A and B are shown apart, each in its own frame.
Chain A
Amino acid sequence: MANEEFEPLIIGFCCNWCSYAGADLAGVSRLQYPPNLRIVRVMCSGMVHPNLVIDALTKGADGVIICGCHLGDCHYLDGNVKAENRKEAIELMLEDFGVEPERFRLEWISASEGPRFAKVIREMTESVRALGPSPYRA
Chain B
Amino acid sequence: MITLTIDDKKVEVEDGSTILRAAQKHGIHIPTLCDFRSLAPYGACRVCLVEIVGSRDSWISASCVYAAHEGMVVKTDTERVLKTRRMMLELLLARCPDAPRIKEMAAGMGIEESRFPKQNDDCILCGLCTRICAERMGVGAVSFANRGSERKVTTPYDKHSPICIACGACQVVCPTNAVDLSEVTSNVPRPIASEYDMGLAGRSSIYIPFPQAVPKVAVIDRDTCMHFLNGVCESCAEFCEAGAIDYEQEDQIEQVDVGAVVLAPGYEHFDPDMKKELGYARYPNVISSMQFERLLSASGPYLGEILRSSDQKHPKRVAWIQCVGSREVDRNYCSSVCCMYATKEAIIAKEHQPDLDCTIFFIDMRAFGKGFDAYYERAKELGVRYIRCYPSSVKEVPGTKDLKITYMKDDGDITTEEFNMVVLSTGLRPPKEVRELADKFGVKLNEHGFADTQGFAPVETSKPGVYVCGPFAGPKDIPETVTEASAGAGKAMALLKEQRGTLITHKEYPPEKDVSGQEPRIGVFVCHCGRNIGGYADVPSVVEYAKTLPNVVLAEDNLYTCSTDTQQRITELIAEHDLNRVVVASCSPRTHEPLFRDTCRQAGLNEYLFEMANIRDQCTWVHMNQPEEATRKSKDLVRMAVAKARLLEPLSKGTLKVNNDALVIGGGIAGMTAALNLADQGFKVHLVEKEQQLGGNFRHVHSLLNGSDTQRKLNDAIESVTSHPDISVYMESLITSAEGSVGNFKSTVQHNGQSTEVSHGAVIVATGAEEYEPTEYLYGKNSAVITQRGLEEWIHEGRPELKNARAVAMIQCVGSREEARPYCSRICCSQAVKNAIAIREAQPDTQVYILYRDIRTYGLLEEYYRQARAKGVLFIRYQEDQKPEVSANNGALEVSCVDPILNKPIRIDCDVVVLAAAIVPGDGVDEVGKLYKIPLNQDKFFLEAHMKLRPIDFANDGVFMCGLAHCPKSVDESIAQAQAAAARAATILSKDEIELDATISEVVDANCDGCAYCIDPCPYNAFTLIEYMYQGSIKKTVDRDAALCKGCGVCQATCPKKGIFIRGFRLEQLGAMVDAALIGE
A residues with CB within 8 A of B:
1, 9, 11, 13, 16, 20-21, 23-33, 35, 37-44, 46-52, 55-56, 59-61, 75-79, 82-83, 86, 110, 112-116, 118
Contacts and interface: CB of A to CB of B under 8 A. Distances in A.
Contact of B590 (A24, A32, A44): A24
A93 to B, nearest CB: 13
Given A27-B622, A41-B589, A112-B299, 16 more contacts: A23-B618, A24-B588, A24-B590, A30-B624, A32-B624, A33-B622, A35-B623, A35-B629, A43-B1048, A46-B1017, A49-B1053, A52-B1074, A77-B1019, A113-B298, A114-B211, A115-B303
Interface stretch (B8-16, B237-245, B632-640): B632-640
A38 B590 contact: no
B1062 A47 contact: yes
Given A32-B625, A35-B626, A115-B298, A40 B303 contact: no
Interface string B1067-1081: 100110111011000
Contacts of A28: 211, 617, 621
Q: How large is the interface on B (under 10, 10 to 19, 20 to 34, 35 or more residues)?
A: 35 or more
15 contacts: A24-B618, A27-B617, A28-B617, A30-B622, A35-B632, A38-B640, A40-B640, A42-B1065, A46-B1048, A48-B1070, A61-B1074, A61-B1077, A78-B1019, A112-B297, A116-B304
B599 interface: no
A43 B1049 CA distance: 7
B61 interface: no
B133 interface: no
B622 A60 contact: no
Given A55-B1071, A114-B299, A79 B1078 contact: no
A40 B1073 contact: yes
A32 B627 CA distance: 13
A82 B1053 contact: yes
Contacts of B619: 27, 35
Closest 6 CB pairs of A and B: A47-B1049, A27-B617, A76-B1048, A27-B621, A35-B629, A38-B1077
A70 to B, nearest CB: 11
Interface centre among A38, A50, A55, A114 (most CB of B within 10 A): A38
Interface string B1038-1074: 0000000011111011110000001001010011011
A52 B1070 contact: yes
A98 B101 CA distance: 45
A23 B588 CA distance: 10
B1016 to A, nearest CB: 10
B1071 A47 contact: no
B646 interface: no
Contacts of A75: 1048
A25 B1050 contact: no
A51 B1067 contact: yes
Contacts of B640: 38, 40
Contact of A16 (B590, B1052, B1077): B590
Nearest to A118: B622
Contacts of B1071: 52, 55
Given A30-B624, A116-B298, A82 B1017 contact: yes
Given A24-B588, A79-B1048, A43 B622 contact: no
B141 interface: no
Nearest to A134: B1078
Interface centre among B591, B1047, B1065 (most CB of A within 10 A): B1065
Nearest to A109: B298
A43 B1074 contact: no
Interface string B920-955: 000000000000000000000000010000000001
A32 B955 CA distance: 38
A11 B1070 contact: no
Contact of A79 (B590, B614, B1019): B1019
A46 B1053 contact: yes
Contacts of B298: 110, 112-116
Contacts of A1: 628
B769 interface: no
Contacts of B567: none
Nearest to A116: B298
B690 to A, nearest CB: 30
Contact of B1078 (A32, A56, A114): A56
Interface string B601-633: 000000000000010111101111110111011
Contacts of A21: 590
Contacts of B1054: 82
Nearest to B999: A43
A32 to B, nearest CB: 6
A30 B619 CA distance: 10
Interface centre among A24, A25, A114 (most CB of B within 10 A): A24
B1053 A76 contact: no
Contacts of A40: 640, 1070, 1073-1074, 1077
A27 B1078 contact: no
Contacts of B955: 77
A16 to B, nearest CB: 7
A32 B999 CA distance: 33
A60 B1019 CA distance: 34
A115 B636 contact: no
A74 B145 CA distance: 63
A122 B749 CA distance: 60
Contacts of A24: 588, 590-591, 614, 617-618
Contacts of B1077: 9, 11, 38, 40, 61
A31 B1053 CA distance: 32
A15 to B, nearest CB: 9
A13 B1069 CA distance: 13
Contacts of A26: 617-618, 622
B516 to A, nearest CB: 25
Nearest to A111: B212
A2 to B, nearest CB: 9
B481 to A, nearest CB: 19
Nearest to A21: B590
